[in-house]
Structure 1
Protein backbone atom coordinates (compact mmCIF):
# COMPACT_ATOMS: atom_id res chain seq x y z
CA UNK A 1 0.00 0.00 0.00
CA UNK A 2 1.27 3.52 0.63
CA UNK A 3 3.28 3.35 3.83
CA UNK A 4 6.85 4.08 4.79
CA UNK A 5 6.92 0.98 7.02
CA UNK A 6 8.32 -2.00 5.08
CA UNK A 7 6.99 -4.58 7.53
CA UNK A 8 3.48 -3.11 7.35
CA UNK A 9 3.66 -3.00 3.54
CA UNK A 10 4.65 -6.65 3.36
CA UNK A 11 2.10 -7.76 5.94
CA UNK A 12 -0.74 -5.83 4.30
CA UNK A 13 0.14 -7.42 0.96
CA UNK A 14 0.11 -10.89 2.52
CA UNK A 15 -3.12 -10.22 4.43
CA UNK A 16 -4.94 -8.77 1.41
CA UNK A 17 -3.83 -11.81 -0.61
CA UNK A 18 -5.20 -14.13 2.06
CA UNK A 19 -8.45 -12.20 2.31
CA UNK A 20 -8.81 -12.20 -1.49
CA UNK A 21 -8.60 -16.01 -1.27
CA UNK A 22 -11.31 -15.99 1.42
CA UNK A 23 -13.68 -13.69 -0.46
CA UNK A 24 -13.26 -15.49 -3.78
CA UNK A 25 -13.93 -18.68 -1.84
CA UNK A 26 -17.14 -17.29 -0.36
CA UNK A 27 -18.15 -16.18 -3.86
CA UNK A 28 -18.03 -19.86 -4.85
CA UNK A 29 -21.10 -20.51 -2.69
CA UNK A 30 -23.41 -20.11 -5.69
CA UNK A 31 -21.62 -18.56 -8.68
CA UNK A 32 -22.76 -18.53 -12.27
CA UNK A 33 -21.03 -21.43 -14.02
CA UNK A 34 -18.84 -19.22 -16.24
CA UNK A 35 -17.42 -17.39 -13.17
CA UNK A 36 -16.03 -20.51 -11.50
CA UNK A 37 -12.66 -20.59 -13.26
CA UNK A 38 -12.10 -16.89 -12.55
CA UNK A 39 -13.03 -17.24 -8.89
CA UNK A 40 -10.67 -20.21 -8.59
CA UNK A 41 -7.88 -18.31 -10.32
CA UNK A 42 -8.42 -15.33 -8.02
CA UNK A 43 -8.27 -17.61 -4.99
CA UNK A 44 -5.06 -19.19 -6.26
CA UNK A 45 -3.39 -15.84 -6.91
CA UNK A 46 -4.45 -14.66 -3.46
CA UNK A 47 -2.81 -17.69 -1.84
CA UNK A 48 0.40 -17.15 -3.81
CA UNK A 49 0.60 -13.51 -2.64
CA UNK A 50 -0.28 -14.50 0.94
CA UNK A 51 2.43 -17.14 1.16
CA UNK A 52 5.15 -15.14 -0.63
CA UNK A 53 4.55 -11.96 1.33
CA UNK A 54 3.92 -13.85 4.56
CA UNK A 55 7.46 -15.22 4.25
CA UNK A 56 8.81 -11.75 3.43
CA UNK A 57 6.94 -10.34 6.44
CA UNK A 58 8.56 -12.93 8.71
CA UNK A 59 11.98 -12.11 7.26
CA UNK A 60 11.43 -8.40 8.00
CA UNK A 61 9.68 -8.70 11.37
CA UNK A 62 12.41 -6.70 13.10
CA UNK A 63 11.54 -3.64 10.99
CA UNK A 64 9.53 -0.79 12.55
CA UNK A 65 5.74 -0.75 12.36
CA UNK A 66 3.15 2.01 12.53
CA UNK A 67 1.35 -0.10 15.13
CA UNK A 68 4.12 0.33 17.70
CA UNK A 69 2.37 1.58 20.84
CA UNK A 70 -1.03 1.11 19.16
CA UNK A 71 -1.49 -2.64 19.39
CA UNK A 72 -4.30 -2.28 21.94
CA UNK A 73 -6.21 0.04 19.60
CA UNK A 74 -5.68 -2.40 16.76
CA UNK A 75 -7.15 -5.14 18.95
CA UNK A 76 -10.14 -2.96 19.84
CA UNK A 77 -10.75 -2.19 16.15
CA UNK A 78 -10.62 -5.85 15.13
CA UNK A 79 -12.85 -6.88 18.05
CA UNK A 80 -15.38 -4.18 17.15
CA UNK A 81 -15.37 -5.36 13.53
CA UNK A 82 -16.07 -8.95 14.57
CA UNK A 83 -18.84 -7.95 16.98
CA UNK A 84 -20.57 -5.63 14.47
CA UNK A 85 -20.32 -8.20 11.65
CA UNK A 86 -21.57 -10.99 13.89
CA UNK A 87 -24.42 -8.95 15.38
CA UNK A 88 -25.54 -7.86 11.92
CA UNK A 89 -25.50 -11.46 10.69
CA UNK A 90 -27.54 -12.53 13.70
CA UNK A 91 -30.13 -9.85 12.96
CA UNK A 92 -30.22 -10.85 9.29
CA UNK A 93 -30.66 -14.53 10.19
CA UNK A 94 -33.51 -13.76 12.59
CA UNK A 95 -35.22 -11.68 9.92
CA UNK A 96 -34.92 -14.47 7.37
CA UNK A 97 -32.49 -12.45 5.28
CA UNK A 98 -29.39 -14.61 5.62
CA UNK A 99 -28.71 -14.16 1.92
CA UNK A 100 -27.51 -10.65 2.75
CA UNK A 101 -24.83 -11.80 5.23
CA UNK A 102 -21.91 -11.67 2.79
CA UNK A 103 -22.85 -8.15 1.75
CA UNK A 104 -23.13 -7.05 5.38
CA UNK A 105 -19.76 -8.55 6.35
CA UNK A 106 -18.22 -6.90 3.27
CA UNK A 107 -19.57 -3.49 4.33
CA UNK A 108 -18.18 -3.94 7.85
CA UNK A 109 -14.78 -5.05 6.53
CA UNK A 110 -14.62 -2.15 4.07
CA UNK A 111 -15.66 0.36 6.74
CA UNK A 112 -13.03 -0.93 9.16
CA UNK A 113 -10.33 -0.06 6.62
CA UNK A 114 -10.93 3.64 7.30
CA UNK A 115 -9.81 3.67 10.97
CA UNK A 116 -7.26 0.96 10.16
CA UNK A 117 -5.67 3.34 7.64
CA UNK A 118 -5.21 5.86 10.46
CA UNK A 119 -3.58 3.26 12.71
CA UNK A 120 -1.26 2.12 9.91
CA UNK A 121 -0.57 5.63 8.56
CA UNK A 122 -1.50 4.22 5.16
CA UNK A 123 -3.78 6.19 2.86
CA UNK A 124 -3.88 3.23 0.45
CA UNK A 125 -5.86 1.15 2.94
CA UNK A 126 -8.45 3.93 3.19
CA UNK A 127 -8.71 4.13 -0.60
CA UNK A 128 -9.44 0.40 -0.76
CA UNK A 129 -12.16 0.76 1.88
CA UNK A 130 -13.79 3.73 0.15
CA UNK A 131 -13.79 1.99 -3.25
CA UNK A 132 -15.31 -1.13 -1.69
CA UNK A 133 -18.01 0.85 0.15
CA UNK A 134 -18.98 2.74 -3.00
CA UNK A 135 -19.22 -0.41 -5.12
CA UNK A 136 -21.10 -2.30 -2.39
CA UNK A 137 -23.60 0.57 -2.18
CA UNK A 138 -24.03 0.60 -5.95
CA UNK A 139 -24.98 -3.11 -6.07
CA UNK A 140 -27.78 -2.87 -3.50
CA UNK A 141 -30.55 -2.42 -6.12
CA UNK A 142 -29.25 -5.46 -8.00
CA UNK A 143 -29.17 -7.53 -4.80
CA UNK A 144 -32.74 -6.53 -3.95
CA UNK A 145 -33.86 -7.86 -7.32
CA UNK A 146 -32.52 -11.40 -6.85
CA UNK A 147 -32.87 -14.37 -4.55
CA UNK A 148 -29.23 -15.36 -5.05
CA UNK A 149 -27.04 -15.05 -1.95
CA UNK A 150 -25.15 -11.79 -1.73
CA UNK A 151 -21.89 -13.76 -1.74
CA UNK A 152 -22.36 -14.05 -5.50
CA UNK A 153 -21.84 -10.29 -5.78
CA UNK A 154 -20.00 -9.22 -2.61
CA UNK A 155 -17.41 -12.01 -2.85
CA UNK A 156 -16.05 -11.01 -6.26
CA UNK A 157 -16.14 -7.32 -5.35
CA UNK A 158 -14.13 -7.85 -2.19
CA UNK A 159 -11.89 -10.51 -3.71
CA UNK A 160 -11.04 -8.45 -6.78
CA UNK A 161 -10.38 -5.21 -4.90
CA UNK A 162 -8.23 -6.98 -2.32
CA UNK A 163 -6.32 -8.95 -4.94
CA UNK A 164 -5.71 -5.85 -7.04
CA UNK A 165 -4.60 -3.93 -3.95
CA UNK A 166 -2.27 -6.74 -2.92
CA UNK A 167 -0.78 -6.85 -6.42
CA UNK A 168 -0.23 -3.07 -6.45
CA UNK A 169 1.28 -3.27 -2.97
CA UNK A 170 3.57 -6.10 -4.10
CA UNK A 171 4.82 -4.04 -7.04
CA UNK A 172 5.53 -1.13 -4.69
CA UNK A 173 7.16 -3.30 -2.00
CA UNK A 174 9.50 -5.52 -3.98
CA UNK A 175 11.88 -2.85 -5.33
CA UNK A 176 12.33 -1.51 -1.78
CA UNK A 177 13.57 -4.82 -0.37
Structure 2
Protein backbone atom coordinates (compact mmCIF):
# COMPACT_ATOMS: atom_id res chain seq x y z
CA UNK A 1 0.00 0.00 0.00
CA UNK A 2 2.86 2.36 0.73
CA UNK A 3 5.59 0.52 -1.12
CA UNK A 4 8.31 2.16 -3.18
CA UNK A 5 8.03 -0.84 -5.54
CA UNK A 6 5.36 -0.36 -8.22
CA UNK A 7 4.99 -4.09 -8.83
CA UNK A 8 4.42 -4.75 -5.11
CA UNK A 9 2.02 -1.81 -4.88
CA UNK A 10 -0.07 -3.13 -7.77
CA UNK A 11 -0.01 -6.68 -6.43
CA UNK A 12 -1.01 -5.64 -2.91
CA UNK A 13 -3.89 -3.61 -4.31
CA UNK A 14 -5.05 -6.56 -6.42
CA UNK A 15 -4.66 -9.04 -3.57
CA UNK A 16 -6.48 -6.83 -1.06
CA UNK A 17 -9.30 -6.41 -3.59
CA UNK A 18 -9.53 -10.17 -4.13
CA UNK A 19 -9.46 -10.89 -0.41
CA UNK A 20 -12.13 -8.22 0.20
CA UNK A 21 -14.30 -10.19 -2.24
CA UNK A 22 -13.59 -13.41 -0.31
CA UNK A 23 -14.38 -11.91 3.09
CA UNK A 24 -17.54 -10.17 1.90
CA UNK A 25 -18.52 -13.56 0.50
CA UNK A 26 -17.93 -15.31 3.81
CA UNK A 27 -19.96 -12.56 5.51
CA UNK A 28 -22.91 -13.66 3.39
CA UNK A 29 -23.10 -16.93 5.33
CA UNK A 30 -25.82 -15.49 7.58
CA UNK A 31 -26.04 -11.69 7.33
CA UNK A 32 -28.83 -9.48 8.55
CA UNK A 33 -31.12 -8.74 5.61
CA UNK A 34 -30.24 -5.03 5.48
CA UNK A 35 -26.51 -5.86 5.06
CA UNK A 36 -26.89 -8.05 1.99
CA UNK A 37 -26.78 -5.35 -0.68
CA UNK A 38 -23.75 -3.73 0.97
CA UNK A 39 -21.89 -7.02 1.22
CA UNK A 40 -22.61 -7.70 -2.44
CA UNK A 41 -21.52 -4.21 -3.47
CA UNK A 42 -18.30 -4.54 -1.48
CA UNK A 43 -17.59 -7.89 -3.14
CA UNK A 44 -18.10 -6.41 -6.61
CA UNK A 45 -15.84 -3.45 -5.84
CA UNK A 46 -13.18 -5.85 -4.52
CA UNK A 47 -13.30 -7.93 -7.71
CA UNK A 48 -13.05 -4.77 -9.81
CA UNK A 49 -9.90 -3.66 -8.00
CA UNK A 50 -8.48 -7.19 -8.17
CA UNK A 51 -8.95 -7.42 -11.93
CA UNK A 52 -7.70 -3.91 -12.71
CA UNK A 53 -4.62 -4.16 -10.52
CA UNK A 54 -4.03 -7.79 -11.43
CA UNK A 55 -3.58 -6.63 -15.02
CA UNK A 56 -1.31 -3.81 -13.85
CA UNK A 57 0.72 -6.29 -11.80
CA UNK A 58 1.24 -8.43 -14.89
CA UNK A 59 2.20 -5.37 -16.93
CA UNK A 60 4.82 -4.41 -14.32
CA UNK A 61 6.10 -7.90 -13.48
CA UNK A 62 9.60 -7.10 -14.73
CA UNK A 63 9.92 -4.28 -12.18
CA UNK A 64 11.85 -4.77 -8.92
CA UNK A 65 10.17 -6.22 -5.83
CA UNK A 66 10.88 -5.95 -2.12
CA UNK A 67 10.66 -9.75 -1.98
CA UNK A 68 13.83 -10.23 -4.05
CA UNK A 69 15.97 -12.64 -2.06
CA UNK A 70 13.18 -13.15 0.49
CA UNK A 71 10.95 -15.61 -1.35
CA UNK A 72 11.77 -18.45 1.04
CA UNK A 73 10.77 -16.32 4.03
CA UNK A 74 7.59 -15.30 2.25
CA UNK A 75 6.79 -18.99 1.72
CA UNK A 76 7.53 -19.77 5.37
CA UNK A 77 5.23 -16.94 6.47
CA UNK A 78 2.37 -18.08 4.25
CA UNK A 79 2.83 -21.70 5.36
CA UNK A 80 2.79 -20.64 9.02
CA UNK A 81 -0.40 -18.65 8.42
CA UNK A 82 -2.13 -21.60 6.77
CA UNK A 83 -1.02 -24.01 9.52
CA UNK A 84 -2.13 -21.62 12.30
CA UNK A 85 -5.52 -21.01 10.66
CA UNK A 86 -6.07 -24.70 9.97
CA UNK A 87 -4.93 -25.87 13.41
CA UNK A 88 -7.12 -23.31 15.12
CA UNK A 89 -10.15 -24.34 13.06
CA UNK A 90 -9.44 -27.99 13.85
CA UNK A 91 -9.38 -27.21 17.57
CA UNK A 92 -12.55 -25.13 17.32
CA UNK A 93 -14.33 -27.94 15.48
CA UNK A 94 -13.21 -30.50 18.06
CA UNK A 95 -14.43 -28.26 20.86
CA UNK A 96 -17.84 -27.83 19.25
CA UNK A 97 -17.25 -24.15 18.52
CA UNK A 98 -17.14 -23.97 14.70
CA UNK A 99 -19.00 -20.66 14.71
CA UNK A 100 -15.70 -19.02 15.80
CA UNK A 101 -13.76 -20.23 12.76
CA UNK A 102 -14.22 -17.08 10.66
CA UNK A 103 -13.10 -14.90 13.56
CA UNK A 104 -10.05 -17.09 14.17
CA UNK A 105 -9.01 -17.12 10.51
CA UNK A 106 -9.49 -13.35 10.37
CA UNK A 107 -7.25 -12.83 13.40
CA UNK A 108 -4.54 -15.07 11.91
CA UNK A 109 -4.71 -13.17 8.61
CA UNK A 110 -4.54 -9.81 10.40
CA UNK A 111 -1.58 -10.93 12.52
CA UNK A 112 0.31 -12.22 9.48
CA UNK A 113 0.22 -8.71 7.99
CA UNK A 114 2.79 -7.56 10.58
CA UNK A 115 5.68 -9.77 9.44
CA UNK A 116 4.47 -9.44 5.85
CA UNK A 117 4.85 -5.67 6.14
CA UNK A 118 8.48 -6.21 7.13
CA UNK A 119 9.11 -8.46 4.13
CA UNK A 120 7.43 -5.99 1.78
CA UNK A 121 8.92 -2.95 3.50
CA UNK A 122 5.37 -1.54 3.53
CA UNK A 123 4.05 0.15 6.66
CA UNK A 124 0.56 0.35 5.14
CA UNK A 125 0.18 -3.44 5.30
CA UNK A 126 1.01 -3.36 9.01
CA UNK A 127 -1.50 -0.58 9.62
CA UNK A 128 -4.26 -2.67 8.01
CA UNK A 129 -3.33 -5.65 10.19
CA UNK A 130 -3.27 -3.64 13.41
CA UNK A 131 -6.64 -2.02 12.64
CA UNK A 132 -8.12 -5.43 11.87
CA UNK A 133 -6.81 -6.98 15.09
CA UNK A 134 -8.17 -4.10 17.18
CA UNK A 135 -11.62 -4.21 15.60
CA UNK A 136 -11.76 -8.04 15.67
CA UNK A 137 -10.82 -7.93 19.35
CA UNK A 138 -13.51 -5.36 20.07
CA UNK A 139 -16.31 -7.60 18.75
CA UNK A 140 -15.47 -10.60 20.95
CA UNK A 141 -17.81 -9.58 23.80
CA UNK A 142 -20.69 -9.19 21.35
CA UNK A 143 -19.92 -12.54 19.72
CA UNK A 144 -19.84 -14.26 23.11
CA UNK A 145 -23.36 -12.99 23.78
CA UNK A 146 -24.86 -14.62 20.70
CA UNK A 147 -24.98 -17.90 18.80
CA UNK A 148 -24.51 -16.21 15.42
CA UNK A 149 -21.61 -17.41 13.28
CA UNK A 150 -18.58 -15.17 13.69
CA UNK A 151 -18.56 -14.61 9.93
CA UNK A 152 -21.36 -12.12 10.54
CA UNK A 153 -18.84 -9.82 12.26
CA UNK A 154 -15.45 -10.97 10.92
CA UNK A 155 -16.46 -10.97 7.25
CA UNK A 156 -17.55 -7.33 7.06
CA UNK A 157 -14.60 -6.19 9.22
CA UNK A 158 -12.06 -7.93 7.02
CA UNK A 159 -13.86 -7.10 3.78
CA UNK A 160 -14.23 -3.41 4.60
CA UNK A 161 -10.66 -2.93 5.85
CA UNK A 162 -9.18 -4.78 2.88
CA UNK A 163 -11.38 -2.89 0.42
CA UNK A 164 -10.44 0.42 2.03
CA UNK A 165 -6.76 -0.57 1.97
CA UNK A 166 -7.03 -1.52 -1.71
CA UNK A 167 -8.81 1.75 -2.54
CA UNK A 168 -6.18 3.84 -0.74
CA UNK A 169 -3.44 1.88 -2.47
CA UNK A 170 -5.12 2.40 -5.86
CA UNK A 171 -5.23 6.17 -5.30
CA UNK A 172 -1.57 6.20 -4.23
CA UNK A 173 -0.52 4.02 -7.18
CA UNK A 174 -2.46 5.78 -9.94
CA UNK A 175 -0.08 8.75 -10.41
CA UNK A 176 2.92 6.41 -10.80
CA UNK A 177 1.40 4.37 -13.62
What is the CA-CA distance between 1:122 and the residue it aligns to? 0.1
Map of 2:111 onto structure 1:
111
Structure 1 counterpart of 2:34: 34
Tell me the residue number matched to 1:8.
8
Instruction: Tell me the alpha carbon deviations over residues 95-134 of structure 1, each in whole angstroms, 9 at most, x when there is no partner.
Output: 0000000000000000000000000000000000000000
Partners of 1:7 and 1:86 lie apart in 2 by 30
* TM-score in terms of structure 1 length: 1.00
Q: Which runs of 5 or more structure 1 residues have no equivalent in the other structure?
A: none
Measured after TM superposition, the shift of residue 147 of structure 1 is 0.4
1:174 is matched with which residue? Answer: 174
Match of 2:49 in 1: 49
Match of 1:149 in 2: 149
The aligned runs of 1:75-86 (5 Å cut-off) are 75-86=75-86
Write the distance in 1 (CA, Å) between the matches of 2:154 and 2:59: 34
- For residues 12 and 32 of structure 1, the distance between their equivalents in structure 2, rounded to whole angstroms, comes to 30
Counterpart-to-counterpart distance in 2, 1:52 and 1:146: 39
RMSD between aligned residues: 0.3
Task: Give the Cα–Cα distance (whole angstroms) in 2 for the partners of residues 82 and 165 of structure 1.
Answer: 22
Output aligned runs, 1:61-76, within 5 Å. 61-76=61-76
- 1:100 maps to 100
Q: Residue deviations 1:124-159, cap 9 Å, x none?
A: 000000000000000000000010000000000000
Q: Return the alpha-carbon distance in structure 1 between the equivalents of residues 88 and 45 of structure 2.
A: 30
CA distance in 1, matches of 2:38, 2:3: 30
* TM superposition outliers: structure 1 runs of 4+ over 3 Å: none
